[in-house]
Amino acid sequence: MNVAVLAGDSLHWLLAGNFNGILEFDLEKQRLASIRLPDEVSCWKLMRAEGGGLGFLGMSGSNCNIQLWKRKANCDGVASWVLGRTIDLENILPLKPEEKGAIAILALAEDNNVLLLWTIIGLFVVDLESLKFKKLFETMIVSHYYPFESVYTAETDIGGGHDGADLLHKT
C-alpha cells in the first residue's frame, strides 16, 4: 500500500519501478514533480520531518541501521536530502548474530512516533524517541500492516444529547 504524505503544501507518494524517487503534487500550484532519493538507502517509508517538511525512513548497511532523512533547502532555495539521525538496531533489539540479517520496516505510526519492524524472530514496535521496543509476537511471515492510531466511535445515544462521533486515540 502506497500512502500519501502531506508535507507543506504538497502530497507525496513513493514511486515504484526503476526510478528511485517520490512523486510530489503541489496543491497550491497544481504541479507535479519527481524527487530523487539517495541511492545508498533502501526500504523507504515517507513521513513528515521535524518542522513539517518532507522526510523518510530508510535502512542502510547490513539492514541494522535505520536512518531518518529530511529535505532541506539551502539559501538559494535548492532542496537536497540531509541525514538527520541514525538508529543502530543492533543496540536496541535483542537479536542474536544469526538473526540480524533480515529486518524490514513494515509500518510507521507517525502520530505516536513508533515503527513496526519485522525480524526473523517476530514483530517489534520501536519508539523512535525513547528507542524502547516491545515484541508483539513471533512470526516468520512478512505481511502488510496498517497502524491505526485513532478511531471514531459512532453515536450510541438516541435523543440523549450527544450529537456526534467521538475521536479515540492513544495518547
pLDDT, tens digit, 9 for 90 and up, residues 38-81:
877 776 788 888 778 899 888 876 667 888 899 988 888 888 99
144 within a domain of the structure (yes/no): no
CA 39, 27, 107: angle at the middle one, nearest 5?
Answer: 45
166, part of any domain: no
Q: How distant, in Å, are the alpha carbons of 77, 120, 131 from that of 141?
A: 44, 9, 24
User: Is it the case that residue 115 has pLDDT exceeding 80?
Assistant: yes
> pTM of the full predicted structure?
0.73
Percentage of residues in the chain with pLDDT exceeding 70? 75
Question: Is position 148 within any domain?
Answer: no
The answer to whether the CB of 153 falls within 8 A of the CB of 143 is no
Task: Give the pLDDT score at 166.
Answer: 60
Is the pLDDT at 84 greater than 80, yes or no? Answer: yes
Residue partners of 168: CB distance under 8 A and separation at least 6: 150, 151, 152, 153
Given CA atoms 102, 54, 110, 67 in this order, what sign does their dihedral have?
positive
- Which pLDDT band holds residue 28 (cuts at 50, 70, 90)? very high
The range of the structural domain enclosing residue 20 comes to: 5-137
In a domain, 38, yes or no: yes
The answer to whether position 20 is within a domain reads yes
Quick one: which of 102, 103, 105, 104 has its CA closest to 114? 105
Domain membership of residue 106 (yes or no) is: yes
Q: How confident is the model at residue 97 (pLDDT cuts 50, 70, 90)?
A: confident
Whether residue 29 lies inside any domain: the answer is yes
164 found inside a domain: no
Q: Quick one: CA dihedral 133, 135, 136, 141, positive or negative?
A: positive
Q: Residue 126's CB: how many other CB atoms inside 10 A?
A: 20
Q: How many domains does the chain have?
A: 1
